[in-house]
Homo-oligomer: A and B are copies of this chain.
Amino acid sequence: MTRALTPKGAATRLKIIEGAAEEIRENGVAVTTLDDVRVRTRTSKSQLFHYFPEGKEELLLAVARYEAERVLSDQQPQLGALTSWAAWQAWRDIVVDRYRRQGQYCPLNSLVSQLGRSTPGAQAVVTELVGQWQAEITAGVRHMQAIGEVDPALDAGRTASSILAGVQGGVLLLLSTGHIGHLEAALDTSIEHLRRSRPAPAGGVAAHRG
């Protein structure tokens, strides 16, 4: 999406996106105008037009992409190193903490709603975020399988997909009801599901399969 920019151009473009993201976090996407962004980032109309020739929607999409990257980077380094039960627990804790602090306003959710959840641009941003997020969780499940802590018969990608659904639903229910209990329950139950799947040690009895 990004055109080839000089380093200085790329820095200016990023400054605009960061300023727009702050403006939207403070005041909401509905009331934020291009003029608000210009004032906050000290850019001219022609600069804004140069970097976002298609106007507000193009800028909002860039901010959505920026916020989506932040969703992942806020979970690092824990998300990228799900290599022990302690690591899974640490990841669970930072996810809960991030969304508890964020509370009932989620900039990415607002941006996606504003752009239209099923428009191609918004859909591409979310699909990429979901793909990367799921790939990280899948790698974590595979690692636990490789070290014998999770049943190798579990489909790692599908398990990761279900964990991600639980996180998304927990966050949506936090936004909609103000309660974080669903997010905690989803993460705890997911980890418990992985733990309970652990094959019995060699010579022991096989885990009961129901």
Contacts and interface: CB of A to CB of B under 8 A. Distances in A.
B176 A123 contact: yes
A63 to B, nearest CB: 17
A44 to B, nearest CB: 32
B177 A158 contact: no
Interface residues on A, range: 35 or more
A185 interface: yes
B182 A210 contact: no
A186 B207 contact: no
B208 A126 contact: no
A206 B208 CA distance: 8
A200 interface: yes
A188 B176 contact: no
Contacts of A132: none
Interface in A82-137: 104-105, 112-113, 117-118, 122-123, 126-127, 130
Interface stretch (A32-40, A50-58, A163-171): A163-171
A209 B167 CA distance: 24
B173 A170 contact: no
Given A104-B117, A167-B169, A208-B200, A161 B175 contact: no
Identify the 3 closest CB pairs spanning chains A and B, nearest first: A169-B169, A168-B169, A195-B210
A73 interface: no
A75 interface: no
A4 interface: no
A161 B181 contact: yes
Contact of A162 (B122, B177, B186): B186
Contact of A173 (B165, B190, B196): B165
30 contacts: A113-B113, A117-B175, A118-B175, A118-B176, A123-B176, A123-B177, A130-B176, A158-B188, A162-B166, A162-B185, A162-B186, A164-B173, A165-B165, A165-B173, A165-B182, A165-B185, A166-B169, A168-B168, A168-B170, A169-B186, A172-B172, A189-B190, A189-B193, A192-B210, A196-B196, A197-B210, A199-B208, A206-B208, A207-B208, A208-B208
